[in-house]
């Protein structure tokens, strides 16, 4: 541990932007080559200068059963969507998981544009009952 006066000289702080928010980091140089950055939330980054925003958020994983239930479809339909590349699936050993963000993106991409369902309710030209 360095004396307080030397420690003050080897530490510097700066703000970086992560997901649109200013985050304060402190560079704590030691006798080693490189540096480590200590985040306000206690995380430490070593040997990097840019903070990856993806590292700051924890991935929410869904099982195929949970994802199918969330989407309101069967597991079989979900497996078909994964196989056709409509939604990303990740295999961990024998288990398949989906990211919550991928499922939400799939939902948004499945939005129906107005005026595209005309074929489901054709206009009746002549009614023979009259």
DSSP string, 38-98: EETTS-EEES-SS--HHHHS---EEEHHHHHHHHTS-HHHHHHHHHTTSS--EEETTEEEE
Dihedral, CA atoms, 39, 41, 45, 50, nearest 10 degrees?
A: -60
Determine if the pTM surpasses 0.75.
no
Model pLDDT, residue 7: 47
The DSSP 8-state label assigned to residue 34 in this structure reads S
Comparing CA positions, the residue from 33, 13, 17 lying closest to residue 25 is 13
Model pLDDT, residue 105: 96
Q: What percent of the chain has pLDDT over 70?
A: 54
Domain assignments of the chain as residue spans, ordered by start: 10-56, 61-109
Report the distance separating Cα 82 and Cα 94, nearest Å: 15
Average pLDDT, the chain: 73
Residue 3 has pLDDT above 70, yes or no: no
Architecture category of domain 61-109 in CATH? Orthogonal Bundle (1.10)
Q: What is the pLDDT of residues 7-58, one digit of tens each?
A: 444 445 555 555 455 555 555 444 333 445 555 555 554 444 444 455 557 9
Confidence of residue 89 (pLDDT cuts 50, 70, 90): very high
Q: What percent of the chain has pLDDT over 90?
A: 43
Residue 128 has pLDDT above 90, yes or no: no
For residue 12, give the H/E element and its range. Answer: strand 11-18
Handedness of CA 67, 59, 92, 80 (dihedral sign): positive
Residue 120 has pLDDT above 80, yes or no: yes
Report the distance separating Cα 95 and Cα 14, nearest Å: 42
């Amino acid at each position: 541990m360095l004396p307080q006066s030397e420690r003050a000289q080897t530490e510097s702080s700066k703000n970086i932007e992560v997901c649109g928010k200013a985050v304060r980091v402190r560079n704590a140089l030691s006798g080693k080559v490189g540096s480590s950055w200590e985040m306000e939330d206690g995380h430490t980054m070593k040997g990097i200068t840019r903070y990856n925003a993806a590292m700051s958020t924890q991935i929410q994983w869904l099982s195929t059963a949970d994802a199918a239930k969330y989407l309101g479809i069967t597991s079989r339909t979900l497996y078909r969507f994964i196989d056709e590349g409509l939604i990303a699936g990740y295999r961990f050993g024998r288990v398949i998981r989906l990211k919550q963000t991928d499922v939400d993106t799939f939902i948004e991409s499945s939005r129906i544009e107005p005026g595209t369902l005309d074929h489901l309710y054709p206009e009746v030209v002549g009614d023979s009952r009259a």
